[in-house]
Amino acid sequence: MKNLWLILTRYNAFFLFIVFFGFAYYLVVQNNTFQRASAVNTSNQLVGAAYAKINGWKSYLHLSEDNALLAEENARLKEQLQRVMAPDSLAQGTVVDSIENVQYHYIVAKVTNNSIHQKNNYITLDKGRVHGIQKGMGVISASGIVGIVLNVSDHFSTVQSLLHSETRVSAALEDSKAFGSMTWGEGYDARVGMLKDIPNHVKVRKGEAVLTSGFSLFPPGIPIGKVIETGISGGDSFLDIKVELSTPFHNLQHVYVVDDLLAGERTELESQNENNG
């Protein structure tokens, strides 16, 4: 304590300068629109750089887990390629032209910020408008769905996570193909979601896979999770089904932004129905 007092006494002029400088800076920023905007912009850049640096350290610590996920994804892609190129398909002439008939384009992005403990969680990606990302695109990982692009700048984008009270994703049960809305909010557990609006006559199996239905921003068949509880009443005619989410939101490092190349055509056609109505 004595040493601290000696330091403060010896360098009191310096410390007073820092205090007065900080107070003067605060007054200038608070009372001048241009300076305030400049200060906010500078602070955003500093925070963004700090997030990028921290995420770099986190990525290094999780390299082994990332490699495992990439290996699993490569295995699934190889299986799909074998099915497409199977001799039976060639004999029947059913091979799809992989160049002319591609519907979905995937943009790889890295997560620079992520929250999972709030009521409404968001994710920041290191790709933006110049990389082809637009508001409303779906976002997936190697394990399952992640969320929906909310805002886009030239080089960054923010995602409304699946772990958000207002996120709704069309999802289907693997066995019955019955579809409903995948939501979040039951206990705000990053590992659990709720599949709603499933008719109560549908037989639901514990452990049954829940996948994207293809009726929304995501391609059909993308994993969402598996059923862990089925006996929840959501109303007179519907069930609420508790689902263990397949995406590890606590350790999200890389994602794919889904660019549906036919989305514009579909939206334009569906808008004609509204006009005719």
Q: What is the pLDDT of residues 2-25, one digit of tens each?
A: 676 677 677 677 767 777 777 776
* The pLDDT value given to residue 75: 46
The span from the CA of 2 to the CA of 16, in Å, is 20
Same domain, 171 and 111: yes
Residue 245: C-alpha distances to residues 195, 210, 211 (Å): 11, 9, 11
Same domain, 45 and 109: no
Number of domains in the chain: 3
Count the neighbouring beta carbons within 10 Å of the beta carbon of residue 224: 26
Least confident of 92-101, 207-216, 239-248: 92-101
Residue 95 has pLDDT above 90, yes or no: no
Same domain, 174 and 228: yes
Same domain, 108 and 230: yes
Q: Is residue 164 part of a domain?
A: yes
* The pLDDT value given to residue 170: 94
With cut-offs at 50, 70 and 90, classify the pLDDT of residue 216. confident
The span from the CA of 238 to the CA of 233, in Å, is 7
Q: Is residue 273 part of a domain?
A: no
Backbone angles phi, psi at 121, to 5 degrees: -105, 150
* The pLDDT value given to residue 136: 93
With a CB cutoff of 8 Å and minimum separation 6, the contacts of 109 are 125, 126, 127, 131, 133, 139, 157, 254, 255, 256, 257
Same domain, 125 and 179: yes
CA angle 187, 193, 196 (to 5 degrees): 110
Q: Is residue 94 part of a domain?
A: yes
- Smallest CA-to-CA distance from 261 within 213, 219, 211 is with 219
Q: How many CA atoms, within 13 angstroms, populate the side-chain half-sphere of residue 148? A: 16
With cut-offs at 50, 70 and 90, classify the pLDDT of residue 90. very low
Residue that terminates a domain, selected from 52, 78, 101: 101
Q: Which residues pair with 148 in a beta bridge?
A: 138, 160
Q: Give the residue-averaged pLDDT of 243-256.
A: 91
223 or 81, higher pLDDT: 223
Same domain, 33 and 56: yes
What is the DSSP pairing of strand 209-212 with strand 169-173?
Answer: antiparallel
Alpha helices in the chain (DSSP H): 2-10, 12-31, 33-61, 63-84, 87-92, 263-276
Reported as a single tens digit per residue, the pLDDT across 173-187 is: 999 999 999 999 767
* CATH number for 234: 2.40.10.340
Same domain, 134 and 165: yes
User: Is residue 153 a contact partner of residue 128, using CB atoms and an 8 Å limit?
Assistant: yes
Residue 91 has pLDDT above 60, yes or no: no
With cut-offs at 50, 70 and 90, classify the pLDDT of residue 214. confident
* The pLDDT value given to residue 160: 96
With cut-offs at 50, 70 and 90, classify the pLDDT of residue 137. very high
User: Is residue 66 a contact partner of residue 56, using CB atoms and an 8 Å limit?
Assistant: no
Q: Is residue 215 part of a domain?
A: yes
**pTM assigned to the model:** 0.66
Residue 159: C-alpha distances to residues 5, 52, 120, 140, 239 (Å): 49, 16, 11, 11, 29
- Owning domain of residue 177: 103-262
Q: Is residue 269 part of a domain?
A: no
Reported as a single tens digit per residue, the pLDDT across 118-132 is: 889 999 999 999 999
